[in-house]
Structure 1
């Protein structure tokens, strides 16, 4: 006999109470993802501002070149910048062994360390342009995520091209580290905005579909934390690429 709340049975008509509970579960799952993501972005911003405005903390992680005036990481700065990558690996490869609480701790630790890395933007750009770019990013991100959540169009094929584009950007950024080409950097910034805008919509739909696969399992809480990590990365990268366009340098 068909389960009336199972979406695979298209011909079945779910009872009103069951349908409401099903929608409520999805809503709760997505809200958890956005709440974790928002708390991570907030933590990153607070830590970044704290490091940038505290001379002792700033000197711990960054040093200014007397000749060029550019800021570069100290040894501890490099540790802080590379540690988020280590935490991502721990979260992805240790997800089955870590408890949900430990996974959350890793996520917030990741967000805090990202704040140390991003503190230099307060030294490079004016506060007004950072705030303006943040609100533009938030508005665009919200619209793109809403599209990914509500669209009936399958974005999975589109996502494959976005992932390929992301790999291309990483390779281009690595190459530009040596060539220091302003034209290449401009191209990277443009593609970065487009790719992470697309990934925001794609990942929202993917996470929504994931709920249907995991509904009722004990893994759903961990999935929400990992989903928040994905959406956090999309937001932060979109913000940074937009800042390269909209930011007023000091």
Structure 2
């Protein structure tokens, strides 16, 4: 291997990483657009339809894991359907918040943008391997989901606030981990799957901030 080849390798790696970053974030933007479209078109549907669309969302996400390895156009198509289905599933919730507190939506969106940018940049830039946190974050997320279900049936003083704060801590780790995966992968085929994961980070962080700004966590 020549000295020129050795010198060229890091440059090619950086180019692949930059391409993957641009591709992934572009797909995140497209997913956000289809999410918004789905939420708008399904704004008048009943909650029963929401469950149906949620099932379609899960199906798209599972199919996406397989499609990424076989066909990029299919994977991108599934990603966009995933965004639209998720938007339709959450349409009643989004419509409620938009009507009840538009300012809360704006504040939550701004806080989410700062949060994702900050922790995403930290995860992308750090040299420390964050993969060791993956199992811990997964079980923390499972625990958070269980706690959320408990709060539906049992009123705990300050429970909603604890849920929101702990949730933000968990998604700070998940966001950093996803952006580190983005930097370390370099495989453009993984862009749709990474975009789905990052979009879910964004959506969950947005909902957590929304509960804080609306005072649901009081």
Is 1:82 matched with 2:55? yes
State the match for 2:209 in structure 1.
Answer: 242
* Contact kept in structure 2, 1:126 and 1:248, CA below 8 Å: no
The 10-residue stretch of structure 1 (180-189 or 130-139) with the greater mean CA deviation from structure 2: 180-189
| Shift of residue 197, structure 1, vs aligned partner | 1.5
CA separation of 1:25 and 1:152: change in aligned 2, threshold 3 A: same
CA offsets per residue over residues 4-61 of structure 1, 9 Å max, x none?
Answer: 76xxxxxxxx33x554333112100111111101211222123324443xxxxx0xx2
Of 21, 24, 27, the match for 2:18:
27
State the match for 1:121 in structure 2.
Answer: 94
What TM-score do you get using the length of structure 2 for normalisation? Answer: 0.86
Equivalence map 1:57-76=2 (5 Å): 58=44, 61-62=45-46, 73-74=47-48, 76=49
CA separation of 1:108 and 1:3: change in aligned 2, threshold 3 A: farther
Q: Which runs of 5+ in 1 are unaligned?
A: 6-13, 53-57, 63-72, 212-219
CA offsets per residue over residues 177-211 of structure 1, 9 Å max, x none?
Answer: 43354643332222111111221111111222222
Question: Partners in 1 of 2:205 and 2:19 — Cα distance?
Answer: 26
Q: Which runs of 5+ in 2 are unaligned?
A: none
What do you get for the CA RMSD once the two structures are aligned? 2.4
Question: Partners in 1 of 2:3 and 2:139 — Cα distance?
Answer: 39
State the match for 2:77 in structure 1.
Answer: 105
State the match for 1:232 in structure 2.
Answer: 199
Query: Which structure carries more helix by proportion?
Result: 2
* Contact kept in structure 2, 1:100 and 1:221, CA below 8 Å: no
Between the two structures, name the one with larger relative contact order (CA 8 Å, sep ≥ 6). 2
| Shift of residue 223, structure 1, vs aligned partner | 0.7
Equivalence map 1:130-169=2 (5 Å): 130-169=105-144
Q: What secondary structure, in the 3-state scheme, does the structure 2 residue paired with 1:152 have?
A: coil
Is 1:204 matched with 2:195? no
| Shift of residue 160, structure 1, vs aligned partner | 3.0
| Shift of residue 105, structure 1, vs aligned partner | 0.8
Aligned residue pairs total 213
* Contact kept in structure 2, 1:133 and 1:247, CA below 8 Å: no
CA separation of 1:47 and 1:246: change in aligned 2, threshold 3 A: same
* Contact kept in structure 2, 1:200 and 1:234, CA below 8 Å: yes
Larger radius of gyration: 1
Question: Partners in 2 of 1:123 and 1:115 — Cα distance?
Answer: 14
